[in-house]
Amino acid sequence: QAFFCLLLCIPWGSSCPRSCQCTERAGAKAVLCSSRHLEEIPKDIPRDVVFLKLDANSITRIPSNAFRHLSHLEEIDLSRNAIEKIDRAAFKGVAPGLRSLDLSSNRIRSIPKEALLALKAKLRLANNPWHCECALQEVLWEARLDPDSVQDITCHTAPRQEYVGKPLLQVLDAGVNLCSVRQRSTDVAVFVTMFGWFAMVVVYVVCYVRHNREDSCRHGHGPRSLPGAQGQAE
């Protein structure tokens, strides 16, 4: 009975991840997991954490609902990791009071706009190998980006070679609309496909008519009609 009483008296969320250090900053709980060789986000982060530092690790992915139980979070630092994938629901349920989210200096090429647009936090996305596309443009226009880091969001790859190596903001300021570029590319692909099918039909008809004429000349008969026309005549 004493053991169970002791369990009940221990407040939930008061533990600290084994590889991290838990302390207080200005009266608020801070969990410091910087440079701890972490490959994933710890599962046992205290529920009352306000400041969470996970920078300088080897984290490669932010899964769905990674921070859903942390209702007091104000700052998350995930900079200088190896993050390549961010799930659409990675920040679902995160604290409404989240003020800062640092994703700079990772390996992020693209990000679902749904993952960030619902956040009110100030975002740092600099120094990632971005593929400049429509979703990234929408994040830039609609999300709250840290103004000091916007110029460092650079196009590592892009639909057109002249955008590569340039800050995304500079490309957009020049009047480029990456969403319309994607739409034009789709339209061109559809047009090319339709033209290819039309060309194949024309070639088939020409070859069939030519074969008919050659066959008629050899046998002294008039040219035969196309199979479809013959069926209609019957």
203 and 126 within one domain: no
| 12 domain residue, yes or no | no
- Tell me: the pLDDT tens digits for 190-224? 444 554 555 666 666 666 667 676 666 666 555 55
Round to whole Å and give the CA distance between 140 and 90: 18
160 and 184 within one domain: no
137 and 68 within one domain: yes
| 4 domain residue, yes or no | no
61 and 138 within one domain: yes
| 40 domain residue, yes or no | yes
| 220 domain residue, yes or no | no
Taking alpha carbons only, the member of 202, 108, 90, 104 closest to residue 150 is: 104
Burial, 47: exposed, middle or buried (Cβ in 10 Å; 0-12, 13-18, 19+)? middle
148 and 184 within one domain: no
Q: 223 or 162, which is more confident?
A: 162
Residue-wise over 92-102: b if at least 16 C-beta within 10 A, else e? eebbeebebbb
202 and 127 within one domain: no
| 8 domain residue, yes or no | no
Q: 163 or 186, which is more confident?
A: 163
For residue 104, give the CATH number of its domain.
3.80.10.10
Instruction: Quote the number of domains for the chain.
Output: 2
Structure tokens at 175: 């009047």
| 153 domain residue, yes or no | yes
135 and 41 within one domain: yes
Hey, how many other C-beta atoms are within 10 angstroms of the C-beta on 13? Answer: 15
The domain containing residue 182 runs over which residues? 178-208
Enter the pTM of the model: 0.72
| 231 domain residue, yes or no | no
- Tell me: the pLDDT tens digits for 25-45? 889 999 999 999 999 999 999
Q: Per-residue confidence at 106, pLDDT binned at 50, 70, 90?
A: very high
Alpha-carbon Rg for the chain in angstroms: 30
| 230 domain residue, yes or no | no
